[in-house]
A and B are shown apart, each in its own frame.
Chain A
Amino acid sequence: MEVGIVGYGAYIPRYRLRVEEIARMWGADPQQTKRSFGVEEKAVAGPDEDTVTISVEAAKNALRRGGVDPSLVGAVYVGSESHPYAVKPTATIVAEAVGATPEMTAADFEFACKAGTAGIQACMGMVEAGMIKYGMAIGADTAQSSPGDPLEYAAAAGGAAFLVGKLDREAVASIEATYSYTTDTPDFWRREMRPYPRHGGRFTGRPGYFKHTLSAAQGLMRKLGLTPRDFDHAVFHQPNGRFPVEVASELGFSMSQIRAGLLSPKIGNTYSGAAMLGLAAILDGAKEGERILAVSYGSGAGSDAFSLIVREGIERKRDLAPKVSDYLEDKVYIDYATYCKFTRKLVR
């Protein structure tokens, strides 16, 4: 494949809600809850933020690193399950705000938590086919969770954007291969007109997350004739702090391989942003020549696996925009009442 990542950008809102604070609301044991989810706190969008604004921040960061004239971006795809409009694209607003319009195509993707990586694949195909020079794939969410639902401990806000283009000296990474694994598995869903998703409880684990993530990772390695030892880093979708660690271990990856991309303990599950933010965090610290495995997971269900090789562009570009660690450090804690206000859970 002759495509690569020419720019990438992250964005995580400043506000954090501690798992203890949520546990306090529902009478759960805070330490036990933290342990069982592997999450300490989650990122919450401010009252004036949503998937559109998070996408714009991430996309602007990607363009800064890409050094690309926004008008050359031929496609903007935003993957999310929290698009502010049911009908009316997030992608047009984002494209307009970053200056990519009007000679381009844009669309919103939805595939639970993997809609953003589906966007990367679409951009790869279009770039390779010569249809566009650059494509912007964004995964962003302000994840919804019903108050009191276990989802509430992790459902978070954040996003990442990847600018895909032809592989040249400007690339921060090449995409060696991608492989997807998809079935109809109803582990998690949200019906039309409903504010919060429903899920199959423990059914989301084995038949959902694990089966698809493992199959995609194994499929990709088989396709490339690689083993976990061939990768310097790996990142998996992270619905909580435990699943990605378990999946890594089952595949034969060590903690040191997944450490850089494991963000869920500190920000929760940013849904469509999760695997992509993890990949951005890895790129923030990666060296030329390193190989990265990135595997997303979307309920419903499917996984997209990617093998990337870090290129020389990374050294010039990583400091051109805020790093994931900058966003992790710049935080303000809020209480549950403020969380309810920010996420519009107050009834008037």
Chain B
Amino acid sequence: MHVPRFWREIPNRYTLVGTRCGHCNKVFFPPRAICPRCRRVGQLEPFRLSGRGRIHSFTTVYSGPRDFKDQLPYVLAIVELEEGPRVMAQVTDCNGEEVKIGDEVEMVFRRIKEEGEEGIIHYGFKARLVRKAGAGGS
């Protein structure tokens, strides 16, 4: 992903800025420019999500693209965010055996990949399991 394409969406990728339809209040993340329900009546405005959610489904990826080779195996999940939308995200700092459907997660800021050793680093969000109180940082 070349620089402008990544840069354009930095607010969305770094701070989970999605959109909300002012007409039906539905929240979209990743952001949409048109509310599929209200279409032209809809009024989409930027909306920042909390980053809290639950695991809706997950898989451990053992064979991945070259950009992710150093991270194999990695856990990939569909996270249902508390504001409603679901989003694809890696689950960091865990192995697949620790994850269950329904587990609570929070989005954290991590390196996603980089454009080789000389290119830019793509930062973004990953999910992290919210571990039991006291087993902290999470």
Residues of A at the B interface (CB closer than 8 Å) are 11-12, 14, 46-50, 52-53, 56-57, 60, 84-85, 88, 93, 96-97, 99, 322-323, 325-327, 329-330, 332, 341, 344
Query: Within 8 Å CB of B123, what residues of A?
Result: 52-53, 93, 97
**How far apart sit A28 and B46, CA to CA, in the bound complex (Å)?**
57
Q: Are B136 and A330 in contact (CB-based, < 8 A)?
A: yes
- 30 CB contacts below 8 A, A to B, read A14-B137, A46-B92, A46-B110, A47-B70, A47-B71, A48-B71, A48-B92, A48-B110, A48-B111, A49-B110, A52-B109, A52-B123, A53-B110, A53-B123, A56-B109, A60-B109, A84-B121, A85-B121, A88-B120, A93-B123, A97-B15, A97-B109, A322-B136, A323-B136, A326-B134, A326-B135, A327-B137, A329-B135, A329-B136, A330-B137
Q: Are B108 and A46 in contact (CB-based, < 8 A)?
A: no
Q: State whether A49 and B111 are in contact (beta carbons under 8 Å apart), knowing that A97-B14, A97-B15, A99-B15 are contacts in the complex.
A: yes
Q: Which of B22-45 contact A (CB under 8 A)?
A: none
CB-contact partner of B126 in A14, A48, A96, A341, under 8 A: A48
**How far apart sit A118 and B111, CA to CA, in the bound complex (Å)?**
27
**How far apart sit A344 and B114, CA to CA, in the bound complex (Å)?**
13
Residue of A nearest to B138 (CB): A330
**How far apart sit A323 and B10, CA to CA, in the bound complex (Å)?**
29
**How far apart sit A268 and B135, CA to CA, in the bound complex (Å)?**
20
Residues of B at the A interface (CB closer than 8 Å) are 10-11, 14-15, 70-71, 90, 92-93, 108-112, 120-121, 123, 126, 131, 134-138
Q: Are B136 and A327 in contact (CB-based, < 8 A)?
A: yes
Query: Within 8 Å CB of A85, what residues of B?
Result: 121
Q: Are B93 and A46 in contact (CB-based, < 8 A)?
A: yes
CB of A67 to closest CB in B, whole Å: 16
CB of B115 to closest CB in A, whole Å: 12
13 additional contacts (CB under 8 A) given A53-B108, A88-B120, A344-B70: A46-B92, A47-B71, A48-B111, A48-B126, A49-B110, A50-B121, A53-B111, A53-B123, A322-B138, A325-B136, A326-B137, A330-B131, A341-B70
Q: Are A57 and B70 in contact (CB-based, < 8 A)?
A: no
Query: Within 8 Å CB of A332, what residues of B?
Result: 93
Query: Within 8 Å CB of B93, what residues of A?
Result: 14, 46, 332
Q: Are A330 and B71 in contact (CB-based, < 8 A)?
A: no
**How far apart sit A99 and B16, CA to CA, in the bound complex (Å)?**
11
Query: Within 8 Å CB of B109, what residues of A?
Result: 52-53, 56-57, 60, 97
**How far apart sit A249 and B110, CA to CA, in the bound complex (Å)?**
40
Residue of B nearest to A98 (CB): B15
Residue of B nearest to A12 (CB): B137
A-B pairs, top 7 by smallest CB distance, nearest first, are A326-B136, A48-B110, A56-B109, A322-B136, A97-B14, A48-B111, A327-B137
**How far apart sit A97 and B126, CA to CA, in the bound complex (Å)?**
13
